């Protein structure tokens, strides 16, 4: 086999500066990734901090240790992990990023030892080795807050099944962490990256996804038990294969998260409350092609209610009538374009015009001779109320419209009474010759529309004003209210 010619050299200081802006937790992430990718049963992390210097050691019991000692210092060296989606490694870069930050580093494995220090550079020796497993020791400058974050990182790991993971911090009791059964576990086809024998390429693959509940509001995306990045979700999501991360391994694309959120929501939709249905991750999930139609419809109903209509701003009358009938009217600003496209395809809600836009499309005016005496008296009383409370002159009209959805409407200073919809009991008087309470409410309701529609503050102010004026007037002149 021909000798491989090397094109590149790595500048240690340049590499250090390139990665020293990363959160220091990447140190533990890379070390644990290497350990968990091996056939191990035990992994122990020991940590100490004094005067700004941290000493971190990771010890595992991998039968082989490092397969090749050169893996410790060769960047982008081919590794079998790239073709195995269930292994975390891919670039053979992570531990080099870590070592570039160190004052001192030592790797002892079954093949020998590699030491990195600022005096001698890299020293390789095959004299000192382990019988089993690997021991990686780092000495690195760390702020105390960064050191504590590294401890918290270890505590946040979801330990793979079959591994005992120990954490020993100096002057603290050691803790052993074990596999935690997820709240939900399911199979989904998700994007990943694998070496197909020719190149490292994106692909789609079936994998298991673990969903974990926890009390903290801070949730994370995990790759095979190791945290990748914070996510705006109600759960920790642990994908059991390579996640398509950026090279720094601390971010994923919005497209991947959307797909993942949809797959999770398909499994936990029954846990979502009406209050949570408007959460960003759920809204994002409902726009994914991976979301089940019935789940998307369920989220729409939980968010907007059983009685919901889409506002047609070109038909304000229909919007007003929808609100009056107790519907939740959904305005354009309440969903983004992707959401609107999704829910329109599902046909989960009609427009206000479709339900209320043709209220009086077909009606006939009732002749005066067909209007009863009490109906005419009530119409005159409505005119009195408008003049007394708002200082306006209105008129009244009687119609029949059996297909209409409303019993009355107001516009152009005119009340139209739909005799097909108003119950007969409304057209009666009590023993004191006063209006039936429901008719009284109807008149005030319609006259208040002089100042606006149901969704405008002017309408509600007018309602309050009319009631206040009439209440005051009743105390001074109760005879005025007799029909």
Asked if residue 252 and residue 118 are part of one domain, the reply reads no
* Interstrand relation of 112-117 and 175-177 (parallel, antiparallel or unpaired): unpaired
Q: Summarize pLDDT for 296-323 with one digit per residue, the tens.
A: 999 999 999 999 999 987 677 788 888 8
Does residue 1 surpass a pLDDT of 50? Answer: no
Instruction: Say how far apart CA 178 and CA 12 lie, in whole Å.
Output: 37
* Interstrand relation of 42-50 and 164-169 (parallel, antiparallel or unpaired): parallel
Does residue 369 surpass a pLDDT of 80? Answer: yes
Asked if residue 193 and residue 97 are part of one domain, the reply reads no
CA dihedral 70, 71, 74, 80 (to 10 degrees): 130
Instruction: Say how far apart CA 122 and CA 106 lie, in whole Å.
Output: 10
Mean pLDDT, all residues of the chain: 89
Does residue 360 surpass a pLDDT of 50? Answer: yes
**Cβ-contact 49, 147 below 8 angstroms:** yes
Q: Is residue 333 part of a domain?
A: no
- Give the pTM: 0.76
Q: Is residue 248 part of a domain?
A: yes
Asked if residue 417 and residue 268 are part of one domain, the reply reads no
Asked if residue 424 and residue 388 are part of one domain, the reply reads yes
Q: Summarize pLDDT for 64-108 with one digit per residue, the tens.
A: 877 777 776 665 555 656 667 777 766 566 677 888 888 999 999
Asked if residue 227 and residue 161 are part of one domain, the reply reads no
Averaged pLDDT, 450-470: 90
Q: Is residue 129 part of a domain?
A: yes
Q: What is the CATH number of the domain that holds 390?
A: 3.30.2010
pLDDT of residue 361: 55
DSSP state letter for 5: P
| Residue ranges making up the domain that contains 70 | 12-177
Specify whether the backbone of 105 is left (phi greater than 0), alpha (psi in -120 to 50) or beta.
Answer: beta
Does residue 404 surpass a pLDDT of 90? Answer: no
pLDDT of residue 79: 62
Asked if residue 238 and residue 149 are part of one domain, the reply reads no
Q: What is the CATH number of the domain that holds 104?
A: 3.30.565.10
**Of 24 and 238, more confident:** 238
Asked if residue 398 and residue 290 are part of one domain, the reply reads no
Tell me which of 274, 290, 306 is where a domain ends. 306
* Interstrand relation of 42-50 and 121-125 (parallel, antiparallel or unpaired): unpaired
Q: Is residue 151 part of a domain?
A: yes
Domain count, the chain: 3
Task: Please identify which residue in the block is written with the tokens 């601390």.
Answer: 250
**Of 293 and 452, more confident:** 293
Q: Is residue 351 part of a domain?
A: no
Instruction: Say how far apart CA 236 and CA 227 lie, in whole Å.
Output: 9
Averaged pLDDT, 457-482: 93
Tell me which of 159, 177, 195 is where a domain ends. 177
Asked if residue 21 and residue 87 are part of one domain, the reply reads yes
Q: Is residue 341 part of a domain?
A: no
Asked if residue 154 and residue 103 are part of one domain, the reply reads yes
Q: Is residue 357 part of a domain?
A: no
Q: Which of 163-177, 320-334, 345-359 has the lowest mean pLDDT?
A: 345-359
pLDDT of residue 3: 62
Tell me which of 260, 289, 306 is where a domain ends. 306
321, 336, 337, 431 from 333: Cα distances, Å: 20, 7, 9, 51
Asked if residue 235 and residue 275 are part of one domain, the reply reads yes
Asked if residue 166 and residue 117 are part of one domain, the reply reads yes
Q: Is residue 5 part of a domain?
A: no
Exposed e or buried b per residue across 163-182, where buried means at least 16 C-beta atoms within 10 angstroms of its C-beta: bebebbbeeeeeeebeeeeb
Asked if residue 153 and residue 61 are part of one domain, the reply reads yes
What's 409-431 look like in SS3? EEECCEEEEECCCCCHHHHCECC
Q: Summarize pLDDT for 29-57 with one digit per residue, the tens.
A: 989 998 998 899 999 999 999 999 999 99
CA-based torsion, 36, 38, 44, 45: positive or negative: negative
Q: Which of 26-30, 114-118, 392-396, 401-405 has the lowest mean pLDDT?
A: 401-405
């Amino acid at each position: 086999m021909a000798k491989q010619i090397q094109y590149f050299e790595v500048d240690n200081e340049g590499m250090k500066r390139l990665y020293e802006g990363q959160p220091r937790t990447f140190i533990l992430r890379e070390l644990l990734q290497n350990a968990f990718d091996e056939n191990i049963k035990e992994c122990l992390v020991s940590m100490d901090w004094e005067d700004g210097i941290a000493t971190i050691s990771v010890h595992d019991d991998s039968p082989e240790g490092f397969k090749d000692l050169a893996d410790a210092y060769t960047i982008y060296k081919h590794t079998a992990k790239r073709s195995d989606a269930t292994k975390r490694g891919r670039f053979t870069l992570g531990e080099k990023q870590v070592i570039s930050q160190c004052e001192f580093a030592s790797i002892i494995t079954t093949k020998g030892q590699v030491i990195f220090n600022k005096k001698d550079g890299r020293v390789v020796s095959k004299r000192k080795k382990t019988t089993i497993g690997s021991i990686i020791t780092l000495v690195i400058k760390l702020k105390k807050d960064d050191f504590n974050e590294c401890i918290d990182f270890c505590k946040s790991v979801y330990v793979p099944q079959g591994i005992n993971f120990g954490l020993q911090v100096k002057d603290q009791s050691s803790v052993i962490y074990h596999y935690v059964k997820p709240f939900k576990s399911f199979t989904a086809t998700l994007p990943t990256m694998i070496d197909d024998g020719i190149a490292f390429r994106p692909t789609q693959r079936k994998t298991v996804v673990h969903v974990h509940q926890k009390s903290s509001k801070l949730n994370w995306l995990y790759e095979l038990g190791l945290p990748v990045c914070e996510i705006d979700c109600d759960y920790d999501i642990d994908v059991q294969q390579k996640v398509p991360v950026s090279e720094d391994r601390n971010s994923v694309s919005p497209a991947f998260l959307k797909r993942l959120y949809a797959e999770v929501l398909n499994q936990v939709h029954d846990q979502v409350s009406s209050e949570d249905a408007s959460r960003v991750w759920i809204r994002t999930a409902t726009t994914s092609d991976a979301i089940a139609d019935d789940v998307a419809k369920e989220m729409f109903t939980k968010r907007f209610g059983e009685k919901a209509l889409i506002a047609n701003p070109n038909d304000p009358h229909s919007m007003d009538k929808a609100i009056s009938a107790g519907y939740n009217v959904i305005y354009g600003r309440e969903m983004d374009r992707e959401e609107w496209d999704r829910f329109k395809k599902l046909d989960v809600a009609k427009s206000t015009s479709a339900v209320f836009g043709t209220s009086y499309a077909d009606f006939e005016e009732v002749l005066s001779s067909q209007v009863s005496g009490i109906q005419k008296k009530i119409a005159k009383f409505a005119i009195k109320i408008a003049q007394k409370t708002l200082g306006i002159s209105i008129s009244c009209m009687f119609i029949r419209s059996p297909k209409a959805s409303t019993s009355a409407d107001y516009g152009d200073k005119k009340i139209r009474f739909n005799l097909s919809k108003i119950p007969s009991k409304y057209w009666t008087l009590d023993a004191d010759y006063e209006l039936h309470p429901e008719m009284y409410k109807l008149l005030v309701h319609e006259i208040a529309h002089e100042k606006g529609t149901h969704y405008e503050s002017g309408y509600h102010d007018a309602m309050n004003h009319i009631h206040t004026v009439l209440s005051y007037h009743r105390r001074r002149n109760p005879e005025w209210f007799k029909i």
